[in-house]
Structure 1
């Protein structure tokens, strides 16, 4: 039964549209109380006084917890793969210090949400405030070399400075990307309940096993004493990869009051304490021959981080390998600010870095008088020149060919402001997309049941890309079962451990583990058959047996055999097996592994008022084997929509006086809505890559966002002749005198 590659609808779709799907805040517990966080109203300083008496006497209030009466937690060392390697996470309610605006400084627990909100609003706190530093461009900012990843902070081959300086054609410009917040539909929420020294958390998490380990470390518990449950996520985009302070606060409050506690963040609070895409400043300098061959590339970038942790991302990584160039120098620095720690946001690092690189390359193409796609074609590398390794597969030119043909790139006239639709200026732009084909160790469990069906379990998450469906397809494929005979379960930390649901590695990692677990379950069932003296396969050699769909048969005798139902019935108990998968380190050393794509954008701009509308986006991607084309296209169009927001709308603005986000609500933090979404098309080249993993799949969730913003920015230049080097692009940026 060939399920991989079929565009199947979501197996969890009915549960979602009927309301049967339960999200973190839906797991209400008997006797539950409600908690509301009180956030700091200064950007830096310490708490001087808390006027708690009146609040504690308000109706329904059960507890007011501050640093003065909160349990002192051990905060044992813990660094998950997603956590900043340098620095120490925020120790919430452990002292009077305030590190950033919006930091949790108290929590009110009451018998209803209304009572908790009223009491939290009434709490008066006096601070000894100091002036925070929150602007990346402030003269006081002194960027530092990150403590972690120092080898990636400065990389070079050849002499890029000399090559750029001596090149006949040069570009040297600065690009900026605003701070962004994730803003998924579902706010962060946690329900915490203790049973003695055992804790259960119903919590929105993209990384259940890390949340389990983090909270166990915070409270000094054995890891097995913490269980995290999260079967559904209403969008996250990376915001739920880390375990944020509200999870600790829910658990702390529940233990302090001796009852389950529910804590849900407000939309405003999600601008404070659940991370953000860091604001970045980047310099790109390119030197090329007159026929467009790159001679030198310089890419210098600075990203913001908090003072107590060092958040690093792959801001300059793409530049090392994307194009052929003998002289390349990259530099990455951090600006330590009085803000909360940034976090991974869809396409982290690559989305920001490639905007600068692809914008600069577009600028170079106009200076050369060359088609922007042709310039990229002339600098296509034969191998990863940074690592000296061949690519496991690289279909970038095929992506440009496919997407360009469907987009109609040949109809573009090269001169800026040369295309119109009536009075509207029309622009066309293109950009490259890429993202690493990551893989991480993962485990999965398969259970063959007496009714002939199978259960599959893994501690993964599903924030919307269709994990339930795609993993069901993988299991059904390798077990040879109809799709409706496989039930895939995720969202519990007690299931076999998996990596985070982020970084575009879920299918590669978890899917590969499920493949192994399916094979092990079949092998175990076969061993039972050959050891059962009542079985037709008693004492048969394993080499003489094979599986044909869901039946164990002798080779060449497919008409006879035993089904899963019969095998399990004979054994008297379900057949259960686990499997694990990880990338062969020797293979990883031999190849450079990435997904690639090409994105084309068309914009229409009103020359009188400067309004910008994206009319079309067409992308083609080389992502290896496509498990479900329907879900894959959905991932791509979703990424494109995020790219529209990045290019034209999304920006979190901080008040320099106190670090307060002045637009921490959906009225002023703009994101694409239905009327902003144009015609979106996503295609996939036929790419075979047996090296990346046994399934031959590459990551997809990040790449579609990565190339979209620069394609739109390049289209804006083509339409107007005005180059905008800061995102998001505003109306006033394109208005001409």
Structure 2
């Protein structure tokens, strides 16, 4: 069979939706304006634990334009049926306005509905709520863990540690992080009898549909969710949060469409976050640096009403390095907080900080180069399941990264390099993220004018789904990119999985290719059976399509265009449905993306200020569909990693559960002045074991190793090991 030409995949294509975004024509959830729409504003609890003793909404209701104030005294009882969605957590989801319990500070206790946003905001400030309050428990360090930890063991780690010539014992702490995407969470809800239409900021349109169907006791097909554009999410738009139910309830109660937009401050209590962690590591090795044993003891925060666990947090400790003896204990700590949620690189980024810092500490203890230490412990297979790796080019990442970064010029002695008042240090860390795939479908239509439309209910929170899927479709159909119209973000479209976990390209991309391949073969079969076609009786396997023209691969002059073929056969269009389902049963191989991150920092010797000077990431992520989008993902993740390493820290007043820096003035994120020279390199090589496209996913792995690389560079610069993120100037005073 002649291979279909590839022109779009691999090309540095600019975003196909870029013009819409920069000209303001991309419509986000809060941009929707529905005729007759009213505005809903949530009233939050001002205590961290207790019960509502009284609610006085009389003054609010007396304001012009106020239609209703809904709270637990007057809200209808909702069914809150079981939600079959895959993001269900153990416990009971928050049931808004169904009782008087307050389970965390900032919990919704009422909603004001008014004809204007200003009236709703003012009236919300006039709602008086009295509480019987209790002191909340919000401090991870002072609270006991739940008594059902997840455990893992191979070998006898305790015995191996006792006999190891080199032993280290460290505890690392990571602060809570909030996502803080540019777009606020917003929902517009409109009822039409028993049907509901929702415009929402979401990474998965099926999630709010399933949630609202369960909350209101409706058939899922009676709910349509639209989310064509998402202004960043990083994970906290992956599940349906209580404000979505509140918007739908408000619209139903007043009989008019309702818009609800959370404030920036409300994002700190109304949606999830990356939980705080304590991660204790003990490791033992021989004098040559070969690991003998590691133990991992993790504690992470969760809410009392649901139990959230970062699923990937235990994986690196089980398989990243050759370690004969391993034990793990991962516990959650129930607190009076709202429920955490995945955040970019979930679990893996947390584990990488602890493990990669520990490896750097071992390298320093042994006087060994950190890259060499990792290479000495590179495994031949996945020791957690004894499976071969589908591909693992981590050694290539080390080699290329060290060469391109100039690692050989590094003085290995900490605190040995200065630039005036600045102490200069370099550090590196490994990265990994598992390759996920889920079933997906897509509808493909080829029109008689030679254009195509591809539809699937996926999402695009920023990585460029519109563009990458257009590239896949264009090559599979043999069309120019400008002739492909890719659409997403609507539950009326064929189903697609959650847009997260780096699974979209593997899952949705594979189904887009399948649907387009089917349609292209339809057109070829039509041509070779058409007596009037130049391709009549040609071998269908020898026909390819390029630029919308079908032709014999070895004889380009023999062919015709899609347009001519369809018009002659009186076809307005051809269509097909693509599908992708990962192989059932246990996977034959261990499938991960990998990377190595190298960083150089400067630390002011008097003030303790840290500046990242340059950073390089080298990644083994399989086939790269779009180099330009890949760079956007990698460089953006490095910026995010700088934030996690040096700036981002949610601060809680443990007396009452109040988050004191719930704004972008006090919750610090990297800005232009914090971002240095960044570069990403991608190791050549597709992985055909994982999916038809040969991709492994890129969006998560590019963040995972950034914070530990910076932390290791800070130690190299200063000689001081900081085991807590973020690394602040206070932790480096007196260096």
What's the TM-score once normalised by structure 1's chain length? 0.96
Corresponding position of 1:609: 607
- For the residues of structure 1 that align with 2:376 and 2:711, how far apart are their CA atoms? 22
- For the residues of structure 2 that align with 1:343 and 1:231, how far apart are their CA atoms? 23
- For the residues of structure 2 that align with 1:67 and 1:194, how far apart are their CA atoms? 22
Q: Is the 8 A contact 1:143 1:302 kept in 2?
A: no
Corresponding position of 1:573: 572
Which of 133, 140, 147 is equivalent to 2:137?
A: 133
State whether structure 2 residue 106 is matched by structure 1 residue 108.
no
Structure 1 counterpart SS, 2:653: coil
Tell me the CA shift for residue 211 of structure 1.
1.8
Which of 398, 401, 408 is equivalent to 1:400?
A: 398
Corresponding position of 1:149: none
Corresponding position of 2:40: 35
- For the residues of structure 2 that align with 1:56 and 1:421, how far apart are their CA atoms? 64
Q: Is the 8 A contact 1:545 1:552 kept in 2?
A: no
Tell me the CA shift for residue 566 of structure 1.
2.6
Tell me the CA shift for residue 132 of structure 1.
1.3
> 1:688–1:523: structure 2 CA closer, same or farther, 3 Å change rule?
closer
Q: Is the 8 A contact 1:300 1:316 kept in 2?
A: no
State whether structure 2 residue 24 is matched by structure 1 residue 19.
yes
Moved more, 310-319 or 168-177: 310-319
Corresponding position of 1:150: none
Q: Is the 8 A contact 1:306 1:342 kept in 2?
A: yes
Structure 1 counterpart SS, 2:349: helix
Structure 1 counterpart SS, 2:338: coil
> 1:298–1:434: structure 2 CA closer, same or farther, 3 Å change rule?
same
Q: Is the 8 A contact 2:477 2:545 kept in 1?
A: no
Tell me the CA shift for residue 315 of structure 1.
1.6
Tell me the CA shift for residue 528 of structure 1.
4.4
Tell me the CA shift for residue 520 of structure 1.
1.5
Corresponding position of 1:235: 232
Report matched runs for 1:185-584 at 5 Å.
185-313=182-310, 314-529=312-527, 543=540, 546-549=543-546, 550-553=548-551, 557-569=555-567, 570-584=569-583
Tell me the CA shift for residue 526 of structure 1.
4.0
Corresponding position of 2:58: 53
String of CA shifts for 1:414-448, please: whole Å, max 9, x gaps: 11110111221001111001101111111111100
- For the residues of structure 2 that align with 1:606 and 1:479, how far apart are their CA atoms? 56
Tell me the CA shift for residue 523 of structure 1.
3.0
> 1:615–1:556: structure 2 CA closer, same or farther, 3 Å change rule?
closer
Tell me the CA shift for residue 561 of structure 1.
3.2
State whether structure 2 residue 93 is matched by structure 1 residue 89.
yes
Q: Is the 8 A contact 1:544 1:555 kept in 2?
A: no
String of CA shifts for 1:189-222, please: whole Å, max 9, x gaps: 0011111111111100001112212211211111
State whether structure 2 residue 65 is matched by structure 1 residue 67.
no
Structure 2 counterpart SS, 1:137: helix
- For the residues of structure 1 that align with 2:541 and 2:505, how far apart are their CA atoms? 32
- For the residues of structure 2 that align with 1:597 and 1:431, how far apart are their CA atoms? 8
- For the residues of structure 1 that align with 2:168 and 2:400, how far apart are their CA atoms? 29
Which of 137, 144, 147 is equivalent to 1:144?
A: 147
- For the residues of structure 2 that align with 1:542 and 1:580, how far apart are their CA atoms? 26
> 1:202–1:277: structure 2 CA closer, same or farther, 3 Å change rule?
same
- For the residues of structure 1 that align with 2:359 and 2:318, how far apart are their CA atoms? 14
String of CA shifts for 1:346-379, please: whole Å, max 9, x gaps: 0111000110000001000000010111100100
- For the residues of structure 1 that align with 2:678 and 2:551, how far apart are their CA atoms? 48
Q: Is the 8 A contact 2:51 2:101 kept in 1?
A: yes
Which of 662, 675, 685 is equivalent to 1:664?
A: 662
Structure 2 counterpart SS, 1:585: coil
- For the residues of structure 2 that align with 1:224 and 1:573, how far apart are their CA atoms? 30
String of CA shifts for 1:44-80, please: whole Å, max 9, x gaps: 1111111111211111101111111112211111142
Tell me the CA shift for residue 533 of structure 1.
7.1
- For the residues of structure 1 that align with 2:158 and 2:685, how far apart are their CA atoms? 37
- For the residues of structure 2 that align with 1:677 and 1:41, how far apart are their CA atoms? 37
- For the residues of structure 2 that align with 1:562 and 1:545, how far apart are their CA atoms? 14
Tell me the CA shift for residue 537 of structure 1.
6.4
Tell me the CA shift for residue 556 of structure 1.
5.2
Tell me the CA shift for residue 657 of structure 1.
1.4
String of CA shifts for 1:223-263, please: whole Å, max 9, x gaps: 11111111111111101001001111111100111111010
Which of 585, 589, 592 is equivalent to 1:591?
A: 589
- For the residues of structure 1 that align with 2:553 and 2:624, how far apart are their CA atoms? 31
Corresponding position of 2:181: 184
- For the residues of structure 2 that align with 1:222 and 1:541, how far apart are their CA atoms? 50
RMSD: 1.6
Q: Is the 8 A contact 2:57 2:126 kept in 1?
A: no
Corresponding position of 2:161: 164
Tell me the CA shift for residue 658 of structure 1.
1.5
- For the residues of structure 1 that align with 2:655 and 2:323, how far apart are their CA atoms? 44
Corresponding position of 2:3: none
Q: Is the 8 A contact 1:423 1:606 kept in 2?
A: yes
Tell me the CA shift for residue 398 of structure 1.
0.7
Tell me the CA shift for residue 551 of structure 1.
3.7
Report matched runs for 1:645-660 at 5 Å.
645-660=643-658
